[in-house]
A and B are shown apart, each in its own frame.
Chain A
Amino acid sequence: MKFPIYLCVLELFASILLAQEKQIDFNSEKNIKKFADYLFCDKDYLRAAEEYQKLNGYEGNDTIIFKTGLSYLFIGDYSTSIDNFSNISSLSPFYENSKLERMKAQFLMNDYFGMRSFYNNNFPEDDSLSDRANRLFTFSYLITEDRLPQKEKFLLPFNSIEKEKISSFYDWKNDPPYKSSALAGILSAIVPGSGKIYTGDISDGIFSFLVTGVFTFLAYDNFRAGHDTRAWIFTGLAAFFYGGNVYGSIAAAQIYNAKITFEFNKGLNVFLESNNYFVPVYEFCN
């Protein structure tokens, strides 16, 4: 009965001793690369990038440089990502892709002007990835305040499914449905609260009208009754509420415009995500 137990304990000790005896060099270049590749495929890009960085001695290995760049791109360290993509030689099979990934990194770090100038200098029309790069290039005009190209030319790089949505983005950008803050102020100056109703804040507009109206009535009523002190207090309050209502209507128009811009930008982001503009197509993990 005791024999199997002794055997079991002995086996456990032996396995630990054996494990310690067999030295594995975890820091060898081969093992670091293996581990980094594992982390990369496991989408642990932060640690994968750290491991790939240890392989800086691997000069000329463009796969490692490219995957390092991708790892930094995925974790949002765009400038380091661009540095890595820039190090890829023009003779490398990854060269074309590295240019596109560099453009994506510049796009994501909001460096649209840099991205456009890079596109103009590095993507001739016969480039295999020119179409995809051109879509990013063109799309950036929807984000910046630059003058838009002609609509036909603008829609050219996009496919038929994308064109409909891009066309509506183009129209919005060309003529955004903003509300005029001057008009909102003028409307509220004429009829208190109407400027806020114009900007879509209907309940705020009604309350502005009521508050200003009530204090104006109290002032008028007290003047009529001969209570001059109270009447002047109410006049002052009515004047302040009236001024606040005009001021608030101008501010409400500005906030409305900010909301419209926010929703437009949100729509752009949803479009980019749903059309997989930034999803890589490389098969490193199969």
Chain B
Amino acid sequence: MIKIVLIIISLFTITAIAQTDWVKWGKAEISYEKKDLIRHKDYSYHDISISGLAVKTLANAYWFFVSDLDGDNCPFSPTCSSFLLQSVKETNIVQGTLMFFDRFTRDYNFIERYNRYPRVEDGHYYDPISLYTLNVKKINYIPPSTVVKQ
């Protein structure tokens, strides 16, 4: 009998303390899907300039014959090949190529990368082209300890 009394009391208690502002504080939509951290390659020639055509073809060939078979090995984000494409698109073929060779040299340097670059969520080192266009206004310095959301 005491159980019934306790149940009744608990039910009444719940009613008594229930909040009425549930409309305002409605539950948030949460997705439990695992984040897709695989870096997908865009082989399309959409929105490519004439100077970028050769570079895009070169990058596509590299992705198809080497990168897709070899795996996702570039430690940086964007990858070196994407960096080349983006830098040519952002600047011009000459400056973009110089930016790429500088990046390629830094790619060799395995010493204390964690001390020099911030990371993106998938663990790669964040090294955007905006830092290297020689346009000071575009430089947005991010300290190495930061995790960048892309």
Residues in A lying within 8 Å of B, measured CB to CB: 1-2, 5, 8-9, 12, 15-16, 19, 201, 203-204, 207-208, 210-211, 240-241, 243-245, 247-248, 250-251, 254-255, 257-259, 261-262
CA distance A46 to B105 in the complex (A): 50
Assess the B100–A244 pair: CB atoms within 8 A. yes
Pairs of residues from A and B, 3 with the lowest C-beta to C-beta distance, nearest first? A244-B101, A248-B102, A244-B102
CB-CB < 8 A to B1: which residues of A?
A: 1-2, 5
Q: Specify the chain B residue showing the minimal Cβ separation from A255.
A: B131
B residues in contact with A258, CB < 8 Å: 136, 139-141
Known: A240-B101, A243-B101. A259 touches B141 (CB 8 A): yes
Q: Tell which of A12, A247, A248 touches B9, judged by Cβ atoms closer than 8 Å.
A: A12
* Residues of chain B within 8 A of A250, CB atoms compared: 134
Q: Is the CB of B5 within 8 A of A251?
A: no
CB distance from A149 to the nearest CB of B (A): 26
Cα A255 to Cα B112 with chains together (Å) = 17
Chain B residues close to A by CB (< 8 Å): 1, 4-5, 8-9, 12, 15-16, 95, 97-106, 108-109, 111-112, 116, 131-132, 134, 136, 139-141, 143
Q: How far is the CA of A185 from the CA of B8 in the complex (A)?
A: 81
Q: How far is the CA of A12 from the CA of B8 in the complex (A)?
A: 9
A-B pairs with beta carbons under 8 Å apart, 9 shown: A1-B1, A5-B1, A16-B15, A207-B106, A207-B109, A211-B105, A241-B104, A244-B99, A244-B104
Contact present for A211 and B143 (CB under 8 Å): no
Question: Which residues from B are CB-within-8-Å of A2?
Answer: 1
